[in-house]
Structure 1
Amino acid sequence: MHSEIDRISELAEAGERMIERLRKKAFLPEARKGLSVRYGIAEAAALLECSTNRIRMAEEDGRLPPPPPTENGRRPGYTIEELLNMREVLDASPRRAPLDTPAMIAVQNFKGGVGKSTVTTHLAHYFGVQGYRVLVVDCDSQATTTTLFGFNPHFNVTREQTLYPYLSIEPTQQTLDYAVQGTPWPNVDLIPSNLELFDVEYELAAAGSDGGSVLASRFRKLKQGLMELAQDYDIVLLDPPPALGTISLAVMQAANALLVPMAATTPDYCSTVQFLSMMEQVTGQLQEAGIAVEYDFVRLICSKFDANDPSHAMVRQIMEQSFGPALLPVPILESAEISHAALRMMTVYELERPIGTPRTHKRCRANLDEAMGQVEALVRRGWGVAQPASEETVVNAA
Structure 2
Amino acid sequence: MAAAIHINQRIRENAQNLSAALNEHMLKNFAPDARKELRLFSAGETAEMLGISTSFLRKLHFEDRVPEVHTTPGGRRHYSAADLLEIRKILESTAKVKGTYLRGRRDGDKVQVLSFLNFKGGSGKTTSAIHTAQRLALKGYRVLAVDVDPQASLTTLFGYRPEVDFLESGTLYDAIRYDDPLPLSQIIQQTYFTGIDLAPGGLILQEFEHETPQALMNNLQPAFFARMAAVLQEVEANYDVIIFDCPPQLGYLTMSALCASTGVLITVVPNMLDVASMSQFLQMSAELLDVVSNAGASMEFDFLRFLINRYEPNDGPQQQVVAFLRQLFEDEVMIGSMLKSTAISDAGLTQQTIYEVDRSQFHRNTYDRAVDSLNQVNDEIESLLQQAWSR
TM-score (norm 1): 0.91
SS in 2 for 1:46: helix
Deviations 1:309-362 (A, max 9, x none): 222112112211221111012211100000001111010000123433011101
2:72 pairs with 1:70: yes
Q: Which amino acid aligns with 1:39?
A: S
Q: Which amino acid aligns with 2:89?
A: E
Residue of structure 2 equivalent to 1:264: 270
2:133 pairs with 1:143: no
- Does the Cα contact within 8 Å between 1:134 and 1:237 map onto a contact in 2? yes
Q: Which amino acid aligns with 2:381?
A: V
2:12 pairs with 1:12: no
In 1, Cα distance between equivalents of 2:72 and 2:60: 21
Residue of structure 2 equivalent to 1:191: 199
1:298-337 alignment to 2 at 5 Å?
A: 298-337=304-343
SS in 2 for 1:161: coil
- Does the Cα contact within 8 Å between 1:138 and 1:193 map onto a contact in 2? yes
- Does the Cα contact within 8 Å between 1:340 and 1:355 map onto a contact in 2? no
Residue of structure 2 equivalent to 1:32: 35
Shift of 1:62: 3.1
Shift of 1:282: 1.9
SS in 2 for 1:193: coil
Residue of structure 2 equivalent to 1:391: none
- Does the Cα contact within 8 Å between 2:185 and 2:234 map onto a contact in 1? no
Deviations 1:74-94 (A, max 9, x none): 223111110100000011222
In 2, Cα distance between equivalents of 1:150 and 1:301: 26
Shift of 1:134: 0.6
In 1, Cα distance between equivalents of 2:379 and 2:279: 25
In 2, Cα distance between equivalents of 1:219 and 1:291: 7
Q: Which amino acid aligns with 1:118?
A: T
Deviations 1:1-20 (A, max 9, x none): 86122001111111111111
SS in 1 for 2:110: coil
Shift of 1:216: 5.3
Task: Describe the shift of the 1:148–1:320 C-alpha distance in structure 2 as closer, same or farther (beyond 3 A).
Answer: same
- Does the Cα contact within 8 Å between 2:125 and 2:267 map onto a contact in 1? yes
Q: Which amino acid aligns with 1:286?
A: V
Shift of 1:53: 4.1
- Does the Cα contact within 8 Å between 1:215 and 1:246 map onto a contact in 2? no
SS in 2 for 1:231: helix
Q: Which amino acid aligns with 2:337?
A: P
- Does the Cα contact within 8 Å between 1:126 and 1:372 map onto a contact in 2? yes
- Does the Cα contact within 8 Å between 2:247 and 2:254 map onto a contact in 1? yes
1:1-398 alignment to 2 at 5 Å?
A: 3-40=6-43, 42-71=44-73, 73-91=74-92, 92-173=101-182, 175-207=183-215, 209-210=217-218, 213-214=219-220, 217-385=223-391
Q: Which amino acid aligns with 1:59?
A: H
- Does the Cα contact within 8 Å between 1:34 and 1:184 map onto a contact in 2? yes
Q: Which amino acid aligns with 1:279?
A: S
In 2, Cα distance between equivalents of 1:70 and 1:292: 53
Deviations 1:11-48 (A, max 9, x none): 111111111111112213432111113121x3322322
- Does the Cα contact within 8 Å between 1:204 and 1:214 map onto a contact in 2? no
SS in 1 for 2:268: strand
Shift of 1:149: 1.1
Shift of 1:132: 0.9
> What stretches of structure 2 of length at least 5 have no aligned partner?
93-100
In 1, Cα distance between equivalents of 2:350 and 2:251: 31
- Does the Cα contact within 8 Å between 2:34 and 2:159 map onto a contact in 1? no
Shift of 1:166: 2.0
In 2, Cα distance between equivalents of 1:355 and 1:60: 31
- Does the Cα contact within 8 Å between 1:102 and 1:233 map onto a contact in 2? yes
Shift of 1:384: 1.6
Q: Which amino acid aligns with 1:18?
A: A
SS in 1 for 2:42: coil
SS in 2 for 1:105: strand
In 2, Cα distance between equivalents of 1:215 and 1:243: 24
Task: Describe the shift of the 1:334–1:354 C-alpha distance in structure 2 as closer, same or farther (beyond 3 A).
Answer: farther
Identity of aligned residues (%): 30
- Does the Cα contact within 8 Å between 2:145 and 2:242 map onto a contact in 1? yes
- Does the Cα contact within 8 Å between 1:259 and 1:301 map onto a contact in 2? yes
In 1, Cα distance between equivalents of 2:53 and 2:354: 25
Q: Which amino acid aligns with 2:362?
A: G
In 2, Cα distance between equivalents of 1:294 and 1:327: 19
Q: Which amino acid aligns with 1:88?
A: K
- Does the Cα contact within 8 Å between 2:70 and 2:79 map onto a contact in 1? no
Shift of 1:178: 0.7
CA RMSD in angstroms, aligned pairs only: 1.7
> What stretches of structure 1 of length at least 5 have no aligned partner?
386-398
| Paired positions, count | 380
Q: Which amino acid aligns with 2:191?
A: T
